[in-house]
């Protein structure tokens, strides 16, 4: 029985691997984002006062660095196989403006969400005891002084309006896409082959250090929705989806997708000359025939 199962697996795996290799690359690349990102949030917040040394386990800056590392290393792990989108906002923008197949885009987005979900699940399991200790015996919750939901997904700061939160996510994601296109544009000062992760690290670090406090800078719908799904299944309740007027949808998805499209639109209109752009015909003067 075992021999036949092993034989069936060995005979079918190469074809399955070839068919789903790009999606698996997106899955594991997205996994890295949450492994490093949610991991550092748990380390810093849950152990902030251990040994009475504030900041002994990290600071706001170390959180920003770790999120940047997660994105950079996720892109490094997947870039040579799938292109290293690891972000539905990137995938949708490439489908709209670069002719990326919607069939591939659908696979990518599902893989990205599942990868981020799995990354957050692994972090939760590693820090479960510390999370329960921090909550002090209270049930899991999205709000309150003892809430741990914010370690995994984003939400607007109490001091800002939802409109400001949506604008922050849109502008931050537009900046990300604008710079990603600049990094890969051979008609611009393109970075050396294989160096995209370095550019991504600097970009995410810069955005987090300058625009991060308003919302937690999702920039990536999968990075926000994947952990929400996991926390919902772990008992954090319906507030995971309903807090702040359905922020997961309007902030995590709508704002980031609109921002991504805005970033590509601005880059293509103003700087890009490549023929693969959906806006290429706008760059070329109309031909004039003299009779």
What is the per-residue pLDDT across 122-146, written as a single tens digit (0 to 9) for each?
A: 999 999 999 999 999 999 999 999 9
The DSSP 8-state label assigned to residue 98 in this structure reads S
With respect to residue 181, please indicate whether it lies within any of the assigned structural domains.
Answer: yes
What is the overall mean pLDDT for the chain? 92
Instruction: Say what the pLDDT of residue 3 is.
Output: 65
Residues 6+ apart with CB under 8 A from 69: 36, 201
Instruction: Say what the pLDDT of residue 5 is.
Output: 66
The pLDDT confidence band at residue 287, using thresholds 50, 70 and 90, is very low
**Torsion over CA: 59, 64, 70, 72 (sign):** negative
Instruction: Say what the pLDDT of residue 54 is.
Output: 56
The total number of structural domains in the chain stands at: 1
CB 225 within 8 A of CB 112: no
Question: Could you tell me the two tokens for 213?
Answer: 């406090």
Look at residue 176 and tell me whether its pLDDT is greater than 70.
yes
Look at residue 276 and tell me whether its pLDDT is greater than 70.
yes
Distance CA(105)–CA(102), nearest Å, equals: 5
Question: Could you tell me the two tokens for 273?
Answer: 């000359």
Instruction: Say what the pLDDT of residue 1 is.
Output: 63
Judged by phi (left if over 0) then psi (alpha if -120 to 50, else beta), residue 41 lies in: alpha
Look at residue 250 and tell me whether its pLDDT is greater than 70.
yes
Residue 99 domain boundaries: 22-273
SS3 per residue for 117-154: HHHHHHHHHHHHHHHHHHHCCCCCCCCCCCCCHHHCCC
Residues 6+ apart with CB under 8 A from 204: 64, 67, 68, 71, 72, 176, 219
SS3 per residue for 34-57: HHHHHHHHHHHHHCCCHHHCCCCC
CATH number, residue 257 = 1.20.1080.10
With respect to residue 258, please indicate whether it lies within any of the assigned structural domains.
Answer: yes
The pLDDT confidence band at residue 194, using thresholds 50, 70 and 90, is confident
CB 156 within 8 A of CB 213: no
**∠ CA 189-193-199, rounded to 5°:** 65
With respect to residue 160, please indicate whether it lies within any of the assigned structural domains.
Answer: yes
With respect to residue 262, please indicate whether it lies within any of the assigned structural domains.
Answer: yes
Look at residue 196 and tell me whether its pLDDT is greater than 50.
yes
Q: Which whole number is the average pLDDT over 35-41?
A: 98
With respect to residue 11, please indicate whether it lies within any of the assigned structural domains.
Answer: no
Look at residue 291 and tell me whether its pLDDT is greater than 60.
no
The DSSP 8-state label assigned to residue 278 in this structure reads T
With respect to residue 16, please indicate whether it lies within any of the assigned structural domains.
Answer: no
Look at residue 48 and tell me whether its pLDDT is greater than 90.
no
Look up the pTM and report it: 0.91
- Spatial CA neighbour of 226 closest among 77, 33, 42, 83: 33
With respect to residue 14, please indicate whether it lies within any of the assigned structural domains.
Answer: no
Q: Which whole number is the average pLDDT over 187-196?
A: 88
Q: Who wins on pLDDT, 57 or 121?
A: 121
Look at residue 108 and tell me whether its pLDDT is greater than 60.
yes
Q: Which whole number is the average pLDDT over 95-118?
A: 97
With respect to residue 182, please indicate whether it lies within any of the assigned structural domains.
Answer: yes
The pLDDT confidence band at residue 282, using thresholds 50, 70 and 90, is low
Look at residue 52 and tell me whether its pLDDT is greater than 60.
no
Instruction: Say what the pLDDT of residue 290 is.
Output: 39
């Amino acid at each position: 029985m075992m021999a036949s199962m092993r034989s069936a697996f060995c005979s079918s795996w190469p074809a399955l691997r070839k068919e789903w290799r790009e999606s698996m690359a997106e899955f594991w690349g997205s996994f890295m984002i949450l492994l490093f990102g949610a991991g550092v949030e748990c380390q810093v917040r849950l152990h902030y006062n251990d040994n009475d040394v504030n900041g002994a386990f990290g600071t706001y800056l170390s959180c920003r660095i770790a999120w940047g590392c997660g994105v950079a290393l996720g892109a490094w792990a997947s870039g040579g196989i799938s292109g290293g989108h690891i972000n539905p906002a990137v995938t949708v923008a490439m489908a709209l403006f670069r002719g990326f197949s919607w069939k591939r885009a659908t696979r990518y987005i599902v893989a990205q969400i599942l990868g981020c979900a799995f990354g957050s699940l692994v972090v939760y399991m590693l820090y479960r005891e510390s999370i329960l200790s921090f909550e002090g015996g209270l049930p899991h919750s999205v709000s309150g002084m003892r809430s741990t939901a914010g370690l995994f997904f984003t939400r607007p700061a109490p001091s800002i309006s939802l409109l400001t939160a949506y604008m922050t996510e849109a502008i931050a994601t537009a900046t990300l896409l604008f710079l990603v296109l600049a990094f890969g544009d051979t008609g611009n000062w393109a970075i050396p082959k294989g160096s995209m992760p370095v550019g991504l690290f600097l970009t995410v670090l810069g955005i987090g250090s300058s625009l991060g406090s308003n919302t937690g800078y999702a920039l990536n719908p999968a990075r926000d929705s994947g952990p929400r799904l996991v926390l919902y299944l772990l008992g954090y309740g319906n507030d995971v989806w309903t807090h702040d007027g359905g922020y997961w949808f309007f902030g995590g998805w709508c704002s980031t997708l609109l921002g991504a499209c805005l970033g590509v639109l601005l880059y293509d209109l103003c700087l890009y000359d490549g023929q693969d752009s959906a806006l290429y015909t706008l760059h070329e003067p109309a031909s004039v025939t003299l009779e």
